[in-house]
């Protein structure tokens, strides 16, 4: 049941910013998943209460990763896990509010003994707002909630103020990849990135956004084809 406090938080009151994602609950976790969530997730979590403003994400990992990559809304975790396995010298921070998705990520991290991922089981902005300036090398925003209805477009993650935050935490030349299978959201995102003075679209030909990039990891959501167009991949660089 939704409480008045939940509704206020969802609508962006003093309880927090406007929520950009849908449900956070799902099917009950298996006994194994719940055990891993109880025992392993605390060790993997980015505990923002332990950090003052402007914390360095390198401190989350043993040693010093070559770079820090950040995934917003990792869903079933296929992309996050695949990228971490393909890039063992990179430190990854993944954020996802959907409990079942977090449980899948924790399980896959445990099964594959992946050391270079840290997790936040809620809004990515919790982490972004606390990161030091120019502390990220790359950001992935893969198939976010499109919020179809016009009255809900204000809930879309890609907004001018959000791009200002991305610009602050990305290093010069840092990369952002936005992917969607909804044509209107692709147009929406491209328009806002191009209006920003901080980013440039790196595409030089149509195949650059029509064909999955060579380093893309296909997700189960992507294969379902739930959108109204083929996946669009928009890559941007911080100026």
- Domains, in order of start, for the chain: 18-238 (3.40.50.150)
Per-residue model confidence (pLDDT) at position 52: 59
pLDDT digits (tens, 9 = 90+) for 67-77: 999 999 999 99
96 annotated as belonging to a binding site for a ligand: yes
CB atoms within 10 A of CB 210: 13
145 annotated as belonging to a binding site for a ligand: yes
Per-residue model confidence (pLDDT) at position 25: 53
Is 145 tagged catalytic? Answer: yes
List the Cα angle 151/19/57 in 5-degree steps: 140
> Would you say the C-alpha torsion 221, 224, 227, 230 has a positive or negative sign?
positive
Per-residue model confidence (pLDDT) at position 9: 43
pLDDT digits (tens, 9 = 90+) for 102-137: 999 999 999 999 999 999 998 999 999 999 999 999
228 annotated as belonging to a binding site for a ligand: no
149 annotated as belonging to a binding site for a ligand: yes
Buried b (16+ CB within 10 A) or exposed e, 187-205: ebbbebbeebeebeeeeee
Given the residues 38, 137, 145, 187, the one annotated as active site: 145
DSSP 227: S
Radius of gyration of the chain (CA): 17
pTM over 0.85: yes
Contacts of 214 (CB under 8 A, 6+ apart): none
Tell me, rounded to whole angstroms, the distance of Cα 159 from its chain centroid: 15
137 annotated as belonging to a binding site for a ligand: no
pLDDT by residue, tens only, the chain of 239 residues: 333 344 444 444 333 455 544 445 557 878 888 998 899 999 999 977 766 578 999 999 998 899 999 999 999 999 999 999 999 999 999 999 989 999 999 999 999 999 999 999 989 999 999 999 999 999 999 999 998 888 979 999 999 999 999 999 999 999 999 999 999 999 999 999 999 999 999 999 999 999 999 999 999 889 998 999 999 999 999 99
């Amino acid at each position: 049941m939704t409480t008045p406090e939940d509704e206020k938080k969802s609508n962006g009151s003093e309880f927090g910013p406007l929520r950009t994602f849908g449900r956070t609950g799902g099917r009950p976790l298996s006994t194994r998943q719940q055990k891993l969530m109880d025992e392993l997730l605390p060790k993997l979590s980015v505990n923002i209460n332990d950090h003052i403003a402007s914390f360095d994400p390198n401190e989350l990992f043993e040693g010093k990763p070559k770079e820090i990559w950040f995934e917003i809304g990792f869903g079933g975790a296929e992309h996050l896990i695949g990228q971490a396995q393909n890039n063992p010298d990179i430190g990854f921070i993944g954020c996802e509010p959907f409990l079942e998705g977090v449980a899948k990520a924790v399980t896959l991290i445990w099964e594959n003994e992946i050391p270079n991922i840290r997790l936040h089981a809620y809004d990515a902005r919790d982490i972004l707002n606390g990161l030091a300036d120019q502390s990220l090398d790359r950001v992935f925003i893969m198939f976010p909630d499109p919020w179809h209805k016009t009255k809900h477009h204000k809930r879309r993650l890609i907004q001018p103020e959000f791009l200002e935050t991305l610009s602050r935490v990305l290093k010069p030349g840092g990369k952002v990849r936005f992917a969607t299978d909804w044509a209107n959201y692709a147009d929406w995102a491209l328009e806002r990135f191009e209006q920003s003075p901080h980013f440039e679209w790196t595409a030089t030909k149509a195949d650059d956004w029509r064909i999955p990039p060579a380093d893309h990891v296909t997700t189960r959501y992507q294969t379902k084809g739930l959108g109204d167009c083929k996946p669009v991949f928009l890559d941007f660089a911080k100026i």
